[in-house]
Homo-oligomer: A and B are copies of this chain.
Amino acid sequence: MKFGGTSVADVERITNAARRVADEVRDGNEVAVVVSAMAGTTNQLVEWTREISALHDAREYDAVVASGEQVTAGLMALALQNMGISARSWLGWQLPVRTDSVHGSARILGIDTEELIRRFGEAQVAVVAGFQGLGPDGRVTTLGRGGTDTTAVAVAAALNADRCDIYTDVDGVYTTDPRIVTAARKIDKITYEEMLEMASQGAKVLQTRSVEVAMNHHVRVQVRSSFSDVPGTLVVDEDEIVEQAVVSGITYKSDEAKITLMAVADRPGVAAAVFGPLADGNINVDMIVQSASPDGARTDMTFTVPRGDLPAAEEILSKQKDDIGFQQMIADGDVVKVSVIGVGMRSHAGVAQRMFKALADRGINIHAISTSEIKVSVLIAAEYTELAVRTLHSAYGLDAA
């Protein structure tokens, strides 16, 4: 059972979360609880490290920010004890949750659960501080933002748990953002692949890496609300889902920016000249479109970068202008990437075509397209976001009856 920041935001909410744990224990289940820091705490800690030193040592950053989960782990254990449930907190270094040495965004290498399992036999609940681990240097590591989801799934995998329940402030994964589409439906079951695409294409309900870990270890994950008793969304292997929808969900991602290089010399090596320097600058390029040039001499290149990296990308490309040989650069931060996602696409033709037609019918211009086996993404002007999402949600028959 994993409880996120809003679910442990204060003493009252921690107590509520503990009640849910106590219910599971009284139902005869052996439970490990993984907790985030109280909502807002991690932001405050990160802010302090930034204020004190712009170029901070990631090992000290980790020591500071890991403290938030330490507090909630202890408080959760106390809340459980107060309800007559045997419980103890486990910090990352105590289990330990062994990670690699990449401070600030470490990966979990393994979790020793022998002692947890022994204590399950004594009816003791394990309360594990999320987000943190022990590096090979004997120091505290953290897993990067949202890392508590990953801790939870990794603990579930190590324990060979029946299920990993992620308690959060929404009651499941929706076909799209319910703030935009009131007819959005909660999905009962979704595959790991779809969830992975949903998470990486803008759905904020689960951290991408945690879904990867769940998929690799076949951990059944349930996303559900801390504040209601409604069943949530199960994230499972494809074979657990009898009838697949062609499209499971529509996502949008606003933190993109578009760069167009006009009249680039169309010669071998030009792509390397553009994208090499961006990669050296640690800027991830996502969608790429290269329009065929009528005379074969010049071409327009359009691609997207994270919006926060747009100024850096512009600076890098300006410096390379002569080397690349473009005439003009046009940057546009006012774009959004809308994606339709569904494993059913593999066996159904015409999914992309339906998307393009539905958007065209609304007069929405597509700037770029990218596809994967179970996803079609388009880049459009940001002002059309809501219209596009609503249109596609209807077009694929996802609206609630």
Q: Judging by beta carbons under 8 Å apart, are A53 and B79 in contact? A: yes
Min C-beta distance of A63 to chain B, whole Å: 4
Q: A57 contacts the other chain (Cβ, under 8 Å)?
A: yes
Residues of B within 8 A of A56 (CB): 78, 81-82
Q: A91 contacts the other chain (Cβ, under 8 Å)?
A: yes
Q: Judging by beta carbons under 8 Å apart, are B78 and A14 in contact? A: no
Q: A122 contacts the other chain (Cβ, under 8 Å)?
A: no
Q: Judging by beta carbons under 8 Å apart, are A82 and B63 in contact? A: no
Q: A11 contacts the other chain (Cβ, under 8 Å)?
A: yes
Min C-beta distance of A401 to chain B, whole Å: 44
A259 vs B54: C-alpha distance in the bound complex, in angstroms?
Answer: 59
Min C-beta distance of A131 to chain B, whole Å: 13
CB contact between A67 and one of B54, B59, B70, B94 (< 8 Å): that residue: B70
A57 vs B73: C-alpha distance in the bound complex, in angstroms?
Answer: 13
Q: A267 contacts the other chain (Cβ, under 8 Å)?
A: no
Q: How many copies does the complex hold?
A: 2
Q: Judging by beta carbons under 8 Å apart, are A63 and B91 in contact? A: yes
Q: Judging by beta carbons under 8 Å apart, are A70 and B78 in contact? A: no
Q: Judging by beta carbons under 8 Å apart, are B138 and A94 in contact? A: yes
CB contact between A74 and one of B49, B55, B71 (< 8 Å): that residue: B49
Q: Judging by beta carbons under 8 Å apart, are B88 and A60 in contact? A: yes
- Once A67-B70, A138-B94 are accepted as A-B contacts, the answer to whether A75 and B59 lie under 8 Å apart by CB is no
Residues of B within 8 A of A138 (CB): 94
Q: Judging by beta carbons under 8 Å apart, are A71 and B64 in contact? A: yes
Contact with B along A86-102 (1 / 0, CB 8 A): 00110101100000000
Q: Judging by beta carbons under 8 Å apart, are B60 and A78 in contact? A: yes
CB contact between A11 and one of B52, B75, B78 (< 8 Å): that residue: B52
Min C-beta distance of A59 to chain B, whole Å: 7
Q: Judging by beta carbons under 8 Å apart, are A52 and B82 in contact? A: yes
Q: Judging by beta carbons under 8 Å apart, are B71 and A67 in contact? A: yes
Q: Judging by beta carbons under 8 Å apart, are B11 and A51 in contact? A: yes
- Once A53-B79, A57-B81, A82-B53 are accepted as A-B contacts, the answer to whether A63 and B48 lie under 8 Å apart by CB is no
**Which chain A residues numbered 98 to 121 have a C-beta less than 8 Å away from chain B?**
none
Min C-beta distance of A88 to chain B, whole Å: 7
A68 vs B44: C-alpha distance in the bound complex, in angstroms?
Answer: 13
A61 vs B82: C-alpha distance in the bound complex, in angstroms?
Answer: 13
CB contact between A52 and one of B15, B61, B91 (< 8 Å): that residue: B15
Chain B, residue nearest A138 (CB): B94
Q: A77 contacts the other chain (Cβ, under 8 Å)?
A: yes
26 cross-chain CB contacts under 8 A? A11-B48, A11-B51, A14-B52, A15-B52, A48-B75, A49-B75, A49-B78, A52-B78, A53-B79, A53-B81, A55-B82, A57-B77, A57-B78, A59-B88, A60-B77, A63-B70, A63-B74, A64-B70, A64-B71, A64-B75, A64-B78, A66-B70, A67-B68, A67-B70, A67-B71, A70-B70
A residues with CB within 8 A of B: 11, 14-15, 45, 48-49, 51-57, 59-64, 66-68, 70-71, 73-75, 77-79, 81-82, 88-89, 91, 93-94, 138-140
Q: Contacts A49-B74, A60-B75, A63-B74 given; 12 further ones with Cβ under 8 A?
A: A52-B75, A52-B82, A53-B78, A53-B79, A53-B81, A57-B77, A60-B88, A61-B74, A63-B70, A64-B78, A70-B70, A93-B93
